[in-house]
Amino acid sequence: MMNNLKRVHGVRTTRNINGLHGVHIARRALSILASAALLTSLAACGNQKSSSSSATTSSNQTSATNKADDKNLTPMSFMLDWTPNTNHVGVYVAQKLGYYQQAGLKLTILPTAQTGAETAIESGVANVGFTTLSNVAAVNASGSHLHFVYDLTQKQVARWCSLKARKDITSPKDFSGKTFVTFGSAEQTAVLKQMIRHDGGKPDFKTVTVGTSTFQTLTSGKGDFGGFYETWEGVQSRLDGPALNCFIAGDYGVPGNPDQLGFAVSSTWEKAHSKQVKAFVQATARGYQYALKNPDKAASILLEATRSSALDPKLTKASMKDIVAGKYWGDASGKTDVTAAQQYINFLADNNVYRGIAQDAKVKDVDAAAHPQASTLATNDYVA
């Protein structure tokens, strides 16, 4: 199932710990045995069974100022989509400031699984996972049942960029005939072809698989353009170089909001735990709202809680300032703009993105799976 999903047009989370590329997955393939072993080991946390390994992970990943009696708290687990970064800051803030405890929850933050957060929450390894609405649509097209419950990103944050030194690339039409640095997905292809076509170019380009990072693949000359996140790679580019020349999909004919990042749960688990979901969503929203009001303090909380990830303090703090200045999270209430979501989903459906996934997964009703509905994929029932 997950082999068909290559993450938000390439831009969402395959970040290394120094943020060298924010491209959203291309997870390295593991053998079936290794994947099964990983899921088994993580399942103890997802199902709230205690083990020495999960306790170690929890103590290393999270901290809380209030030491409430654990017996009075409901265990809950949250899985990252990649290494910790500013997309996750609200969770760490809510953990540090005791918002989850106040909501009656004992949250365990899990490192991402190689198979992805979506697979983890579908299988019960984690209760909640960080993902995108377009990923939820793609996963569900293959037969899963995930539900998007909190939309963090309210503006387009993905950028399609070449090195600024490339004087032969001044707009998306110049991507025509060039080489795209990618992890590969039908979604990426649809977005880029639309941008090139809208700008008056011929929607044909070559691809190359990203190496150590998208930045390095571009500077090596093996690729000509790639996908980045404004609030991480864009910031890094301005701090340390290389300079980029970037374009936004919405400016070139891609409708709706392609970049709705947030949290999803399994619909099956949700039915039996709706109060728990609401408590988590509202406590987490408090964390993100605190981060918007106190970006430097929030960055410090993230850095302290994730010391083993070796995040760059300068980049992390600058990223938070960029998020606030650009109003990328809105008011961080978490409400999903269903209209904008449906516009983008329809665009992908018109380009047969979901049909291909459904056919590969051999679902019973391919036509239904090929046309996802944002109103059923996402809910605003839990936001304040």
Q: Is the CATH number of domain 2-155+260-377 3.40.190.10?
A: yes
pLDDT of residue 184: 75
pLDDT of residue 350: 98
How many Cβ atoms are within 10 Å of 335's Cβ, its own excluded?
Answer: 16
Q: State how far the Cα of 49 lies from the Cα of 44, in Å rounded to an integer.
A: 5
Indicate if 158-252 has the same CATH topology as 2-155+260-377: yes
- DSSP, collapsed to helix, strand or coil, labels residue 3 as helix
Q: How far is CA 13 from the centre of its chain?
A: 6
CATH superfamily of 158-252: Periplasmic binding protein-like II (3.40.190.10)
Q: Which helix (H) or strand (E) holds 269?
A: helix 267-272
pLDDT of residue 268: 97
What is the sign of the dihedral through the CA atoms of 228, 234, 236 and 242? positive
> pLDDT 10s per residue in the chain (384 long)?
333 333 333 333 333 322 222 333 333 222 222 333 333 333 334 444 333 344 444 444 444 444 546 789 999 999 999 899 999 999 999 999 999 999 999 999 999 988 899 999 999 999 999 999 999 999 999 999 999 999 999 999 999 999 999 999 999 999 999 999 987 788 999 999 999 999 999 999 999 988 678 999 999 999 999 999 999 999 999 999 999 999 999 999 999 999 999 999 999 999 999 999 999 999 999 999 999 999 999 999 999 999 999 999 999 999 999 999 999 999 999 999 999 999 999 999 999 999 999 999 999 999 999 999 999 999 999 998
- Given a contact cutoff of 8 angstroms between Cβ atoms, the answer to whether 210 and 117 are in contact is no
pLDDT of residue 124: 96
Burial of 48 (0-12, 13-18, 19+ CB in 10 A): middle
Strand-by-strand arrangement of the 225-229 sheet: 206-209, 179-182, 225-229, 158-163, 244-247
CA atoms within 13 A on the CB side of 240: 11
Q: Which amino acid is at 138?
A: A
pLDDT of residue 193: 98
The closest alpha carbon to 335, from 158, 157, 156, 148, belongs to 148
pLDDT of residue 18: 29
Q: 83: alpha, beta or left, given left = phi > 0 and alpha = psi -120 to 50?
A: beta
Domain spans, the chain? 2-155+260-377, 158-252
Q: What is the DSSP letter of 7?
A: -
Q: Which helix (H) or strand (E) holds 262?
A: strand 261-266
What is the sign of the dihedral through the CA atoms of 8, 147, 326 and 293? negative
pLDDT of residue 82: 87
pTM: 0.84
pLDDT of residue 69: 64
